[in-house]
Amino acid sequence: MKELLKKYYQGDKYMWTFIWFLVVASLVSVYSASTALAYIRHNGDITGTIMRHVVCLLLGVLSILVCSNIRPKVFYTFADIGVLMGLLSVVLVLFVGSQTNGSARWFKLGGGITIQPSEFAKIALVIYVAKQLAINFDDPNKSLRKIFLWSAGIVGFIAAENLSTALLIVFTIGFMLFIGHVSLKWLGIISSAAVGLLVLILIFAPLLKNTPLSRANTWVARIERFCNDDDENDDKNSQAIQSKMAVATGGLVGVGAGNSKMKNFLPMAFSDFIFAIILEEYGIWGGALVILAYIGLLSRAIVISKSCVKVFHIYTLLGLVIMITLQAAINMCVAVGILPVTGQTLPMISMGGSSSMFIGCALGLMLSISAEVKREVVSVEAKPVASTPTTKEDYDDDTTDFDAEAK
C-alpha cells in the first residue's frame, strides 16, 4: 500500500495537505448548507444531495491524481490544441448551451450532468500563455500578439454570459505577462483599452438589450445594488443582505456546525455563498483557516517556482495558483460584502461538478510540476560537483529541453 501511494501520490506534500483540508471543509460545509436544497429537490432527503456532491469531489480528487501523474511536457505539447478546444467550447455554448439564471454557461449532458466550458477554457489559456512566454523568453513581446488574439477571443465570448470569469482570466493573464517581463508600455495600452471598453459597455448598457451583450444591464444592476445596499426592502439585493446577516451572526467562534439559520434563506448557500455559511457556523476562526489554506497553496507555489529550471513550469505554476487564489478571494469578498455579487464559486469547497473537476486538473498540474522540480533537484545532486552551472540557456525555449528529454 505504501509503495502504491508513493507511486501515484505525486507532488509537494504540503500542497496536498492544503488540498485535503479544502476537500474536508467542502464535505462538512456543503452537507450543512444544502439542507434547503434537499427539501426543494428531494423532499427533505439530504442523502441524494450530499451524495451528488461526494461524487463531484471524488471527480475533483481523481482529476488531481490523474493530472499529477502526467508529466508537464505533455501539457506543454498539447497547449495549442487545448486553447483551440477552449475557444470552440465557449463559442458553442452560446448557441447550444443550457440556460440558467438568464445565461447560457453549461452543456447539459443528461442525467443531471452539466459541463461549464469556461472552466476548461481558462485553464487551457493559462497553459498556452505560459508556453508562449517560455518560447519567447529572450523577447517576451514577440509572444504578445498570439496571446492577445487567443485571450481576446476566449475572454470576449465568456464575457457575453459571465463577466466575472472573464475579468478573472484578464487579471490572471495580465499577471503572467507582468512576471514574463512583457513591456510595461504594451501592458498599459492593453489595460487602458480593456478598461475603456468595459466602461463604454456599462454606460451604453440600455442600448444593448437585444445584442450579444444584453447581460450588460445585469452587470449595471448588480453594481447599483451594491452601491445602494442600505435598502433592506430591495428583494433583488436579498442575497447580499442575507449573506451579511450570516457573517454577523457567526461572530468570533460561530454558532456551531450544522446550526446555520441563514442557509434556509440564502440562495446558493451551498455554492456562491458557502463562505458566508462557514463564517456563520465556525466564526472568524473557521473562515481564517480556509483563507490560510489558500494562502498556503499560494506560498508553496511561490517556493516551488524558485526551484524550477524551465520557465514554462514557473509561468504555469504561478498562473494557475493566482487564478485559483484570486477566484477564492473574489468569492469571499462577495460573501462579506466587499464586492458585488459575481457568481464565482469557492474553489474545491463550493458544490459543483465541472468546477471541482477542472480546478482539480489545475491543482494536479501544479503538483505535477512540483514533482518534476523534485526530480530535477535529485538529478542535479546526482551529477559531479564540477558539472556546468545553471546558465541563461537553461531558461531558454522549453521546446529544446522537452525534445532533448524525449530522445
Which amino acid appears at position 126 of this protein?
V
For the chain, residues with pLDDT lower than 70 are 1-7, 36-46, 97-104, 106, 108-113, 229-237, 377-407
CB 233 within 8 A of CB 260: no
Q: What is the pLDDT of residue 85?
A: 95
Half-sphere exposure (Cβ direction) of 387: Cα atoms closer than 13 Å: 8
What was the pLDDT predicted at 39? 63
Q: Is residue 140 within 8 Å of 131, Cβ to Cβ?
A: no
- pLDDT for the residue 392: 40
Element (H, E) at 105: strand 103-110
pLDDT of residue 61: 93
- Position 399 scores a pLDDT of 42
What's phi and psi for 364, nearest 5 deg?
Answer: -60, -40
Task: Please tell me whether residue 270 adopts helix, strand or coil conformation.
Answer: coil
Instruction: Dig out the grid coordinates for 225 from the structure.
Output: 445594488
Cβ burial, residue 44 (10 Å; 0-12/13-18/19+): exposed
Q: Considering the entire predicted model, what is its pTM?
A: 0.87
For position 163, what pLDDT does the model report? 87
* 164, three cell numbers: 466575472
DSSP state of 97: P
pLDDT for 391 equals 38
